Amino acid sequence: KAEYNLVKNYVYFDQTAHPAQYTGSISILKLSLMDEFRWRAWGINAQLIYQMNSNKEIIRVPAFMARVSLCPTLPLFQNACVLQPGIDLFYNTAYYASAYMPATRSFYLQDEKKIGNYIYMDIFVTLMIKRFRIFIKYQHLNALWGENRYYTVPHYPMEGGIFKYGLSWSFYD
């Protein structure tokens, strides 16, 4: 998939969190590739994104992002239930992401802290029995080791490792 955007007279908040306007035009190109691969019991969902723009000083986005899920589908008890253990991986290149200003509830440009250039990892298990489904997930497995350098927005660290679970049971009318 290819997307092209042409932005004219772009209004933004500069490094001092004051409003500014770029009177020229900015070209933004986004190329993405997404597919689901199946081989026997194994499944891989992958999304790769490449982004570039003509003015990296005003519109800042990571050049490359990737999201990959790897999980086998294992039928159990003569196909009475299905087990899916798996792993989700997310990566983006380092870039100067916009910082957040709580007073104005807006994002502004900053040149102090780059974020990205690390893998964010989740592990999960899903069990489906007919119309009943349960999932268990440990989000941000990387938090268990190494230093905490994971950010979604500069100066706002990602939450640490967290255990999540859920139940779903569909009923017929």
pLDDT in tens, 34-48: 999 999 899 999 999
Contact 58, 44 (CB under 8 A): no
pLDDT in tens, 128-171: 998 899 999 999 888 888 677 788 888 888 888 899 999 999 88
In DSSP terms, 50 is beta-bridged to 31, 64
Q: What is the mean pLDDT of the chain?
A: 91
Torsion of CA 9, 31, 110, 147, to 10 degrees: 170
pLDDT reported for residue 85: 96
pLDDT reported for residue 145: 81
pLDDT reported for residue 137: 96
Contacts of 127 (CB under 8 A, 6+ apart): 81, 82, 83, 84, 133, 134, 135
Nearest to 137 by CA among 84, 97, 90: 84
Determine the Cα–Cα distance for residues 57 and 54; give it in Å rounded to an integer: 9
pLDDT in tens, 66-89: 999 999 999 988 888 999 999 999
Indicate the pTM of the whole model: 0.82
